[in-house]
Amino acid sequence: MWLLNTDYMDKIYPAFYREYVDYTEIQKAQKYNLDIFMDELQKIFYNNYIPYADETGISQFEYILKIIPKPEETLEFRRSRVATRWGFTPPYTENAIKQWLDWFLGVDKWEYVKDYPNFAFRIISYSGDGKKDEELDYTMLRIKPCNMLYSRASISDGSNAPAESFQYGTSQKVISSFAPWVG
């Protein structure tokens, strides 16, 4: 855009203007102001996209989604939480949930155990990040079918214990769709 380029003054004004001190000083001042303007314009542009947003941009998304961030949360975690709540749309199929788990927790950092005869499923998380586990619970409570039970087990010591060793309702948090306040 020609207005954002300081060289346009050389094309508009006659060549003999370049000899005057006033002209060169005006051009320097204008270049400084245009640089500041372009930096702010770039920030505004990037704040429209969750992966590139800074603190200000993420806080605007959080305000829209009614998320209250905690002071100890990092910008990366806040970005992933906003992206999860903003972009995880229906249909909530098993494959879509598995793809989301790969993105959110990381490949090979979770296990999906289905128990369809009992209308239940469990996600075993090997991430060791309590904040991500809380967000996982929040998301699963909102997307799971209302007649299914969801539970999560977290293993943070790095040992990949077999999923069969976990039983529903024993020492892990079992979250029922009929009691969303439990948790």
pLDDT per residue as tens digits for the range 32-72: 888 898 899 999 999 999 999 999 999 999 999 999 999 99
Integer angstrom CA distances of residue 144 from 14, 93, 119: 70, 9, 11
Mean pLDDT for the chain overall:
78
Domain boundaries, given as residue ranges, for the chain: 2-46, 92-183
For residues 120-135, average pLDDT = 86
Q: pTM for the complete prediction?
A: 0.59
Q: Return the pLDDT at 171.
A: 37
Which is it for strands 120-125 and 149-154: parallel, antiparallel or unpaired? parallel
- Confidence bin at 28 (pLDDT 50/70/90): confident
Question: Would the pLDDT of 87 be above 50?
Answer: yes
Q: To which H or E segment does residue 150 belong?
A: strand 149-154
Dihedral sign computed on CA atoms, order 8, 14, 15, 17: negative
Q: How far apart are CA 161 and CA 57, in angstroms?
A: 40
Question: Would the pLDDT of 178 be above 50?
Answer: no
- Confidence bin at 96 (pLDDT 50/70/90): confident
Dihedral sign computed on CA atoms, order 54, 59, 64, 66: positive
- Confidence bin at 176 (pLDDT 50/70/90): very low
